């Protein structure tokens, strides 16, 4: 089942279909180095990157300092196609190292700084890193005079973004030059960003640059716009609020938890957010109530939900402002050059979500077996269970669950994300995860793990939450077990909830059936 693309809410001009059936944007640059060189030539004095609380560089300085890093890498023996691992946190040095590696023709490997030492060593060995940028060590540096910038082909690998490995070892998603440039164009079109060169563009990066969202959707898109990327070394609500008026932030992209913390901060009411024109979110289910609060809190902004994976180089679908409140449980419409399809749908139209497009990565580094399993006949098997509902603007995608997280309750399939979306609407719920709880009769029953708002007692929350769920869910989907936490949900180094750990829990509150 492939949805009809006859209607589209996004700009679809300047697109051609190739012999492989994949649509591509026309007029994209050859590679990311050409992008930086072009923008630095047009806007040399514009500020390109600001480290919040630290230094900054213009586009001319970014290119010049990046070239010095590239020359230093070459002097250290790094050649085209070699891997350069960035083991440092968010900041100006990360950006300089990132561009230096590209200018040297290397493949950038953004390393998750939250990995345990054994995990980090696995990634470094798997990618065969020729050079590692480490905390506290100076960046490579040499005179770049007379050394040309690297010139990579569109299908050459630009970066390896390692998946967080919720099952098995992390996999290095091979993001090509074309993937990066396509994602930039997807972001501009889906978020309806104005390309007027006279406009001020500024994004606040509050998420890690080692993720595709921070690196590709935010950092790289600002280069295309000739805008400034304000990078937070660490997220703190007070710093976030200070950065918005100080740097006249126009675009914010983050996760629901960060927005919740920012809106609840006592300083928000006194913060001038009038410059913000775009607020986007993703990475986790969002409560419709939080969407409504974002609309009210940023009255001059368009809000929207973005969905993607490392394997789609970030953005694959987007839910625009006009649909955000009414369809808060949806991840939106396919980006202009992206196809989405439901594989083997059940009678309700639910099945695995497949994605195809020039943003889909070239496979997994050094892993032909898992590449063959995941990338089939040009389509990416996402592992997400979804359905596509037709609305006047086209097919709107709803993620129902991860395939491995589906709960089988006595033969009835319960999709955990559907239950999480319903429970997230409760005003006293900050975070929620739904898992299967082993049962000798039913096989599995539905269990909900909840982090409540401050001051909310478990004894009061549990019966109220279950009653709330019964007004929104079929009886067999209503949690029969609840666990109330006093701290955040456990997550892996990539920020994904560790559901396997939650399934092992024994401290459940059993809810009597009606």
Write out pLDDT tens, residues 225-281.
999 999 999 999 999 999 999 999 999 999 888 898 899 999 999 999 999 999 999
Q: 406-510: what fold?
A: GMP Synthetase; Chain A, domain 3 (3.30.300)
Whether 151 has a pLDDT exceeding 90, the answer reads yes
Q: How confident is the model at residue 357, as a pLDDT?
A: 97
The residues near 236 (Cβ < 8 Å, ≥ 6 apart) are none
The band of 168, judged by pLDDT with boundaries at 50, 70 and 90, is low
Write out pLDDT tens, residues 80-118.
999 999 999 999 999 999 999 999 999 999 998 888 788
Whether 169 has a pLDDT exceeding 90, the answer reads no
User: Is 333 within 8 Å of 393 (Cβ atoms)?
Assistant: yes
Kindly provide the residue ranges of all beta strands, DSSP E only, lying in 186-250, ordered along the sequence.
Answer: 202-205, 228-231
Whether 323 has a pLDDT exceeding 50, the answer reads yes
**Is residue 278 classed as helix, strand or coil in its secondary structure?**
strand
Q: How confident is the model at residue 4, as a pLDDT?
A: 42
Distance (Å) of CA 246 to CA 221, 236, 242, 272, 335: 21, 15, 6, 9, 32
Look at 144 and 441; give whichever has higher pLDDT.
Answer: 144
Q: How confident is the model at residue 226, as a pLDDT?
A: 98
Whether 167 has a pLDDT exceeding 60, the answer reads no
Question: Mutual orientation of helices 59-75 and 92-103 as an angle, nearest 10°?
Answer: 60
Whether 415 has a pLDDT exceeding 50, the answer reads yes
The band of 1, judged by pLDDT with boundaries at 50, 70 and 90, is very low
**What sign for the dihedral angle of Cα 310, 80, 132, 116?**
positive
User: Is 257 within 8 Å of 76 (Cβ atoms)?
Assistant: no
Distance between CA atoms of 270 and 305, rounded to whole angstroms? 26
The band of 165, judged by pLDDT with boundaries at 50, 70 and 90, is low
Q: How confident is the model at residue 514, as a pLDDT?
A: 62
Write out pLDDT tens, residues 491-506.
876 677 888 888 887 7
Mean pLDDT of 352-374: 97
CATH superfamily of 15-400: ANL, N-terminal domain (3.40.50.12780)
Q: How confident is the model at residue 2, as a pLDDT?
A: 52
Q: What is the mean pLDDT of the chain?
A: 92
The band of 166, judged by pLDDT with boundaries at 50, 70 and 90, is very low
Mean pLDDT of 303-307: 96
Nearest residue to 438 (alpha-carbon basis) of 502, 390, 385, 383: 502
Nearest residue to 380 (alpha-carbon basis) of 354, 398, 359: 354
**Would you kindly state where each structural domain of the chain is located, as residue ranges?**
15-400, 406-510
Long-range contacts (CB closer than 8 Å, 24 or more residues apart) made by 398-405 = 398/329, 398/330, 398/331, 399/307, 399/331, 399/353, 400/350, 403/352, 404/167, 405/435, 405/499
């Amino acid at each position: 089942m492939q949805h009809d693309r006859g209607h589209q809410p996004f700009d679809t001009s300047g697109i051609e279909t190739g012999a492989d059936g994949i649509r591509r944007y026309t007029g994209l640059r050859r590679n990311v180095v050409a992008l930086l060189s072009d923008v630095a030539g047009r806007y040399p004095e514009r500020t390109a990157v600001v480290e919040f609380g630290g230094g900054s560089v213009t586009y001319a300085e970014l290119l010049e300092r990046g070239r010095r890093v590239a020359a230093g890498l070459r002097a250290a023996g790094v050649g085209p196609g070699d891997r350069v691992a960035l083991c440092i946190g968010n900041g100006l040095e990360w950006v300089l190292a990132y561009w230096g590696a590209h200018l040297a023709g290397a493949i950038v490997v953004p390393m998750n700084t939250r990995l345990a030492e054994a995990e980090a060593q696995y990634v470094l060995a798997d990618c065969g890193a020729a050079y590692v940028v480490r905390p506290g060590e100076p960046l490579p540096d040499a005179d770049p005079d007379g050394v040309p910038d690297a010139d990579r082909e569109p299908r050459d690998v630009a970066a390896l973004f390692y998946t967080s490995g919720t099952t098995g070892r992390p996999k290095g998603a091979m993001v090509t030059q074309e993937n990066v440039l396509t994602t930039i164009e997807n972001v501009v079109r889906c978020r309806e960003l104005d390309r007027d060169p006279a406009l001020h563009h500024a994004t606040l990066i509050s998420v890690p640059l080692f993720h595709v969202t921070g690196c590709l959707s935010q950092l790289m898109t600002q280069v295309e716009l000739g805008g400034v990327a304000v990078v937070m070394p660490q997220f703190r609500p007070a710093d976030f609020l200070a950065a918005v008026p100080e740097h006249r932030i126009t675009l914010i992209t983050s996760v629901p938890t960060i927005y919740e913390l920012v809106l609840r901060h006592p300083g928000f009411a006194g913060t001038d957010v009038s410059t913000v024109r775009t607020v986007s979110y993703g990475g986790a289910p969002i409560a419709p109530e939080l969407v409504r609060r974002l609309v009210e809190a940023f009255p001059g902004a368009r809000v929207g939900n973005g969905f993607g994976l490392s394997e789609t180089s970030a953005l694959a679908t987007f839910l625009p402002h006009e649909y955000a409140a009414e369809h808060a449980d949806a991840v939106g419409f396919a980006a202009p050059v992206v196809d989405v399809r439901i594989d083997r749908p059940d009678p309700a139209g639910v099945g695995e979500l497949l994605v195809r497009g020039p943003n889909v990565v070239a496979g997994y580094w050094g892993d032909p077996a898992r590449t063959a399993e995941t990338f089939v006949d040009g389509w990416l098997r996402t592992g997400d269970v979804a359905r596509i509902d037709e609305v006047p603007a086209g097919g709107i995608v709803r993620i129902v669950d991860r395939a491995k997280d589906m709960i089988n309750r006595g033969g009835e399939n319960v999709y955990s994300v559907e239950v999480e979306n319903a429970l997230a609407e409760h005003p006293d719920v900050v975070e929620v995860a739904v898992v299967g709880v082993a049962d000798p009769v039913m096989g599995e029953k539905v269990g909900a793990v909840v982090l409540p708002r401050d001051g909310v007692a478990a004894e009061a929350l549990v019966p109220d939450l279950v009653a709330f769920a019964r007004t929104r869910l079929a009886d067999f989907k209503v949690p029969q077990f609840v666990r109330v936490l006093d701290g955040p949900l456990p997550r892996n180094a990539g920020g994904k909830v560790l559901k396997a750990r939650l399934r092992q829990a024994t401290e459940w509150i059993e809810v009597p059936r009606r």
